[in-house]
Amino acid sequence: EQKQTINFGAGPAKLPQSVLLQAQKEFLSYSGIGISVLEMSHRSADFNKILNKTESLLRELVNIPDNYKVMFLQGGGSGQFSAVPLNLIGLKEGMCADYLVTGTWSSKAAKEAEKYGKVNVVHPKLESYTKIPDPGSWTLNPSASYVYYCCNETVHGVEFSFTPETNGVVLVADMSSNFLSRPVDVSKFGLIFAGAQKNVGCAGVTVVIVREDLLGHALKECPIVLDYKVQAEMNSLYNTPPCFSIYIMGLVLEWIKNNGGSAAMEMLNKQKSSMIYDIINASNGFYECPVDVTCRSRMNVPFRVGKKEGDEALEKEFLAGASKRGMISLKGHRSVGGIRASLYNAVTLEDTEALATYMKEFLKEHQ
Ligand code: PMP
């Protein structure tokens, strides 16, 4: 039976229907073995098969070179805000790192890194998180241990359409909210991490992809569960991993593969986001997206309703009307207000069309 509700949530977010059905089918007895994945030992042969399958699908879909390790860790994207400096800030003697701060998530990451070393924000502080400062204006520090950025700022809808050039300094990216939404050249990065609960699964597991030569530089105060060298050598099994979340990720990766991989996801995501941005652009300011056109996110489309700063009463009405049509979780993040439509991989073209149709009707009724 098809679900009627359309979930535009920013994460945890919609999962493909076929994945949920598969998980339901296997819930009580995985692959005929008589127990649930929830009940399995993480050291059993059955779980090992799940873990290895998930890793090999990920390697295939993201095209991960052999000199990179893949880990499935707990602690979420926020856990990685600490794990990155704890593992990498000691790469060079100066104990400093460069940060691009283009929204809430990179700002939080930079604050966390300040606990462990010197943080250099490479561009003038942004008044509002609506654009990416021109790379020509960045002052990168050649002796920084790494350069950190957030590829897609989920709250503000600001997405990089290019990979920052760091002149040989290790590049670290938070791809939590646009992982596998488009092809990526992993070889340009020292480290990529992504929480699963937006594009590749459910909460509980965070993927870390790290170049092998960066392992083994952790600070002595690094908690062992966050130590990349330990976790990489133990194949993410130093302690009990988030088994069920890894299993769900495996199912989602299979679904991505069956649907054409990252290139196909990118085509669809372009189509979906353009559909919504086109309506915003053609609305004569009734809908307003504050983000510069060069860095509008394909994953999270934020907009105000009514006038530039938004008309809160009208936005409430917009949300109530959406909810009546079964479209939920469209409220913008509490720090920015307004509306936010998250269009992750599992959100279909039809789902997006339903929102587009509603936006056009709402505009007609209220302009
Ligand atoms: N980075 C980004 C880009 C995010 O969107 C989020 C969560 N929305 C996080 C990090 C933090 O993830 P978590 O809640 O899993 O710690």
Residues found in the chain: 367
Is the CB of 11 inside a 6 Å radius of any atom of ligand 1? yes
Query: Whose C-alpha lies nearest to ligand 1, atom 10?
Result: 77
pLDDT of 2 strictly over 70: no
For residue 310, the model assigns a pLDDT of: 74
Model confidence at 308, in pLDDT bands (50, 70, 90)?
A: low
Is the CB of 141 inside a 6 Å radius of any atom of ligand 1? no
Q: Would you call 138 a catalytic residue per the annotation?
A: no
Strands 152-153 and 158-159: antiparallel
* Cα torsion angle, 86, 88, 93, 99, sign: negative
Share of the chain above pLDDT 70, in %: 99
- Nearest of 225, 249, 245, 223 to residue 236 by alpha carbon: 225
**What ipTM describes this predicted complex?**
0.99
Model confidence at 309, in pLDDT bands (50, 70, 90)?
A: confident
DSSP string, 84-106: HHHHHGGGSTT-EEEE---SHHH
pLDDT tens readout for residues 206-263: 999 999 999 999 999 999 999 999 999 999 999 999 999 999 999 999 999 999 999 9
Q: Which of 69, 198, 272, 331 is catalytic?
A: 198
Is the CB of 202 inside a 6 Å radius of any atom of ligand 1? no
Q: Which of 98, 105, 255, 331 is catalytic?
A: 105
For residue 270, the model assigns a pLDDT of: 98
Mean of pLDDT values over 14-29: 98
Q: Which atom of ligand 1 is nearest to the CA of 152?
A: 3
Is the CB of 176 inside a 6 Å radius of any atom of ligand 1? yes
For residue 123, the model assigns a pLDDT of: 97
pLDDT of 113 strictly over 90: yes
Q: Would you call 198 a catalytic residue per the annotation?
A: yes
pLDDT of 1 strictly over 60: no
**What rounded mean pLDDT belongs to the chain?**
97
For residue 3, the model assigns a pLDDT of: 65
Query: Whose C-alpha lies nearest to ligand 1, atom 11?
Result: 77
Residue with tokens 């979340």: 245
Mean of pLDDT values over 88-92: 98
> What's the 207 CA to ligand 1 centre distance in angstroms?
12
Query: Whose C-alpha lies nearest to ligand 1, atom 2?
Result: 176
pLDDT tens readout for residues 336-356: 999 999 999 999 999 999 999
